[in-house]
Chain A
Amino acid sequence: MDQLDRFEAVALPIAQANCDTDQIAPARYLQKPRSADFGRFLFADRRFRADGTEIDDFILNRPAYRPARIVVAARNFGCGSSREHAVWALYDYGIRAAIAPSFGDIFYSNCLKNGLVPVALPEEAVQELIDHLIAHPGDRVTVDVVEQTVVFPDGFTHAFFLDPFAKHCIVKGLDELDFTLSQSAAIAAFERGYGPPER
């Protein structure tokens, strides 16, 4: 997981609401090991025909959007299946932030655990950004994780919420497990007071 603080990148608009994780990473790739390049599977069934050739109308296949590192999507992005593979597909493609009015709950936490910044902004602001990006392919957006702001191509800055702890992990490229392991004594004490598995 890379360290991330501030970056500016091409943003890919996904105008449809309720884009589910089955679309982001189709189920047949769940059997691949994490070492596989999941970037190749990102939106696979919308990007490629069965014979592997590209579907020209899919937005990610248009040259201006190919270098995208930010996704800007309509509401409830990443709903459905809990598959972390959806985040891996985005991450391996190079995406480091997803901006949307709302996210699937499990997807949101999966993002935080993989160095992909989920940015929730008001619906009108996101819609405006999507419209702008469709009209101006290849325009760039800046995400500042430290300041918790997004700068739109028109120069306007929007603040967003990020859990302080998750932010610390993303900025430093750390994960939560080390911290929890350091609390093992507290977990053991809780479990002693709590009793053995119920039978």
Chain B
Amino acid sequence: MFDKIWDSHRIMSREDGQDLLFIDRHYIHDVTEPAFRLLRERGLTPRSPDRIFGTPDHYVPTHSRQATAINDPERRTMIEALTRDAAESGITLFGLGDPRQGIVHVVGPEQGLSLPGMTIVCADSHTSTHGALGALAFGIGATEVGHVLATQSLWQRRPRRMRIAVDGSLAAGVTAKDVVLAIIAKIGVAGAVGHAIEYAGSTIAGLTMEGRLTLCNMSIEAGGRVGFVAPDDTTFAYLHGRPYAPKEGAWDRAVVRWRGLASDAGAVFDHEVTLDAANLAPMVTWGTTPEDALPVTSRVPDPTNAPSLERREAMTRALDYMGLTPGTPLEEVPVDRVFIGSCTNGRIEDMRGAAAVVKGRKVAAGVDAWVVPGSELVRVQAEAEGLDRVFTEAGFQWRYAGCSMCLATNGDTVAPGQRCASTSNRNFVGRQGAGARTHLMSPAMAAAAAVTGRLSDVRRLMAGA
């Protein structure tokens, strides 16, 4: 499937083996300013503004929809620059205050802009998310953004192919987030470097579209710049009727074409990985890379059991940063903050999954818990379903859409030394603020942490305990 999309977008090849790929969709956001500056300095303008869509996400405030609520002038400048650059070039922008604004990786699929068979790029490593729709989608740097703006194309070397097959049905309380954390724990954060990942198997086929988006989102945390799922009826049902999806006759023709994208039965991969999903438990991370993930029923691991000296040192450093003692049951680790949101888990099903756990319960004393929808449309939908009240009545803060505490660049930070149960994608040192300690998990697990005040196995709460 990867080769089919690649080959149909190849404009030319260079003698060094790189191919110039035509780019169907280019997303921009409020960290795209340097690329537009680069373009302006060279006297260039975007070549195909109708293929570019933008929305601010990294710097938007989540307590207000007013740009004036941003009291940091540099952050305000970034949003203003996006607004100006888009307007000057005739690029469609879902700006701050627009009902369609949100995190770019939530908005693209939601609007039907990300479609099977497309090439999609964005100056953000989590662009791999859009692969869930059967697209070839990858993150690029600022210079590459400038190149795509100017030429609507990009030079790339064809990566190797990896297939990750996940089979078996998921137990109650186990989600796509748990599957992807288990995959990363198995292959490591560098496991897929240089590879495009195709996810396959019965578990993946059984995931909802939103679950697949969560899965593909974290491909980059395994080192894979690209992760995708072959489009199927789940994909088509999700896309049908979305604002930018093809309509009527064009829709029928598109579905026929999209059905042809799936890998042929005999397709060959450079690497094959398999995972049995039937025995998976809800996962949490204990360290400072996403591969440091364990079932929530485990204990904090002991570095003295590490397979190598290097690993022992890395674990010791991580546990020191995280303030954890080896041997402690993970379920005894208390949390100060809870963040439900981000491009990994900020969609409506994530809100529903968390709300189902929260309903009828209260946020534990001393815990500051937030829900930040991934887009304004998700927020409005959740409010229509009454989910916002489930959260606020329990003591959660219910905020406006944006990246928020995933990266903490808008000022929503976790304080030094505080421990946060987070549905985002990176538990790196300082990711949620200097000195912040992040535990990654699913929305239902984060909700369980909020109401118990500690990392908790959501399956127990689901059973009513």
Interface on A for B, CB 8 Å cutoff? 16-18, 20, 22-23, 26-28, 30-34, 45, 50, 74-76, 79-84, 87, 102-106, 109-110, 113-114, 163-166, 175-177, 180-181, 183-184, 186-187, 190-191, 194, 196-199
Contact = CB atoms under 8 A, between A and B. Distances in A.
Contacts of A191: 22, 152
B438 to A, nearest CB: 11
A84 B142 contact: yes
Contacts of B247: 199
Nearest to A162: B16
Contact of B141 (A28, A33, A84): A84
17 contacts: A16-B314, A16-B317, A17-B190, A17-B310, A22-B426, A22-B430, A22-B431, A76-B193, A79-B189, A79-B223, A105-B224, A113-B143, A114-B143, A163-B16, A177-B42, A183-B20, A199-B247
Given A27-B408, A82-B140, A84-B142, A180 B20 contact: yes
B24 A197 contact: yes
Contact of B152 (A103, A110, A187): A187
Nearest to A177: B147
Contact of A183 (B12, B189, B407, B430): B12
Contacts of B20: 180, 183, 186-187
A50 B147 contact: no
Contacts of B431: 22, 27
Contacts of A75: 190
A84 B194 CA distance: 18
Contacts of B33: 33
Nearest to B152: A187
Interface stretch (B118-126, B336-344, B394-402): B118-126
Contacts of A83: 31, 141
Contact of A165 (B14, B146, B428, B434): B14
B314 A17 contact: yes
Nearest to B76: A31
Given A16-B314, A84-B141, A177-B146, A184 B434 contact: no
B429 A23 contact: yes
B300 to A, nearest CB: 20
B288 to A, nearest CB: 9
B144 interface: yes
B254 A198 contact: yes
B138 to A, nearest CB: 8
Contact of B34 (A34, A80, A190, A197): A34
A180 B142 contact: no
Given A102-B193, A187-B11, A197-B51, A113 B246 contact: no
B130 interface: no
A18 B428 CA distance: 10
Contact of A82 (B12, B22, B123): B123
A25 to B, nearest CB: 11
A15 B143 CA distance: 29
A18 B189 contact: yes
A111 to B, nearest CB: 9
B361 to A, nearest CB: 33
Interface in B23-56: 24, 31, 33-34, 37, 42, 48, 50-51
Nearest to A175: B143
Nearest to B125: A82
A74 B308 CA distance: 14
Contact of A187 (B15, B146, B153, B221): B153
